[in-house]
Structure 1
Amino acid sequence: MDWTWYLFGFKGRINRAKYWLSGLVVLSFMMIFVALVQLALTIDLVAHAMGTAAGHGKASFAIGLDDIYSALDPAAWQALSFAKLPMLLVRTIGLVLLLWIFLATSIKRLHDRDRSAWWMLPFFAAPQLFNHFSDQLPESDFMMIPGAIALVLMLWGFVELYFLRGTKWTNRYGADPLGKEQMRVRSERARLRATTAWSQDSEIEMVPHKSGPPPAMRVKPMA
């Protein structure tokens, strides 16, 4: 398997098994990233034995779409300090890597369902955006409606990508990744050809030659 295309390419199709595998890959990368962050914090603790620096913090496993929306949140930028800038850069690099893998594999799985990449907006972007900024929205019974819509869209996307089989035919994004190719529309003539043995008589029609002069040279009776 081409791992570069599998993890970072946006063209083609992948089946359910490979999409589940991509989740394990993302989780593995996340654990490695957090281990590196924890190592950096440990080194910082040793360098500042008195514990006065910011190195006594803890590494966080919370790396996800919420971090992207935090970049759009003005409150997050107001709380940013210069001391946190190196850790923020490391966290951003890890986030970009994991997000790229998530988008690439999710889009190829949508292609397997014969859906375009724009379905990422209702399935993931819109629900996550609502959940992140829900605390800043006014509290009212009316807000339960968009909350319910966001939940339904998120569940729909989860079922589509993780549980439903892709198209069995070659769609606009490529062939069936399972290799069980079927024609979407088969004409009656194609069906007969597929189920009937080949015969030379059915392909070549031999017309017997009739002896006699051409019609223009025949003599009329009683002439």
Structure 2
Amino acid sequence: MSIKWLLFSFEGRIARKTFWQWNLLYYFFMLLVLGVVTRFFPMVSGFVVPIFWILVLFPDLAVTSKRWHDRNKGNGWLLLNLPLILGRIAFPMAERVSDPVSSQPSLFSSVLAIVGVVCGAWIFIECGLLRGSVGKNAYGEEPSTLSNGATADES
């Protein structure tokens, strides 16, 4: 499996292990960038962090797409990422322009947060916890076939 295929292609299947490796790396760098930017450049953090998320959006969707394919589901399921994407981009920018006196979140922010939690939980369960389809499906061969022909229980 090539990095180019993993991060920039919406075809094929990956196992849960690969999905988790990507997500651990993704969130590690997200927290690192967030920490460094807010610590050393707090005045621009509301703009730099969303730009970072936009830069990693395509690779994140490509990896998640392959995981949906392993579950024998199409790219339409990527729409569950929409509330998460909007929240990641909108919230840091909203913090920069919000009224510092008001501590109440807007109705839009509250609804987006609730929908984001529900969608995120669904993605977590489907892509992160449930096993992929056994054998070949509409999106290709099972990704966890071992060299001896046996199938690992990790996809």
TM-score (norm 2): 0.64
Question: Counterparts of 1:147 and 1:95 in 2: how far apart (Å)?
Answer: 17
Computing the radius of gyration from Cα coordinates, the structure with the larger value is 1
Q: Which blocks of at least 5 consecutive residues in structure 1 are unaligned?
A: 42-54, 61-66, 68-87, 182-223
Pair 1:162-2:128 in alignment: yes
Aligned-pair CA distance for 1:101: 2.3
Greater RCO (CA < 8 Å, at least 6 residues apart): 2
Pair 1:107-2:70 in alignment: no
Match of 1:81 in 2: none
Which residue, out of 93, 97, 105, partners 2:55?
Answer: 97
Cα contact 2:70–2:142 (8 A) shared by 1: yes
Aligned-pair CA distance for 1:177: 0.1
Question: Counterparts of 2:17 and 2:52 in 1: how far apart (Å)?
Answer: 25
The 5-angstrom pairing of residues 21-32 of structure 1 reads 21-32=21-32
How big is each residue's C-alpha offset from its partner over 1:161-184, in whole Å with a ceiling of 9 and x where there is no partner? Answer: 100011112111110001157xxx
Alpha carbon RMSD of aligned pairs, Å?
3.8
Aligned-pair CA distance for 1:11: 1.3
Structure 1 runs, 4 residues or longer, greater than 6 Å off: 146-150
Which residue, out of 107, 112, 120, partners 1:136?
Answer: 107
Match of 1:9 in 2: 9
Question: Counterparts of 2:113 and 2:12 in 1: how far apart (Å)?
Answer: 33
Pair 1:12–1:58, CA change in 2 (3 A)? same
Pair 1:125-2:82 in alignment: yes
Q: Which blocks of at least 5 consecutive residues in structure 2 are unaligned?
A: 92-104
Match of 1:20 in 2: 20
TM-score (norm 1): 0.47
Structure 2 counterpart SS, 1:21: helix
Identity value in percent: 31
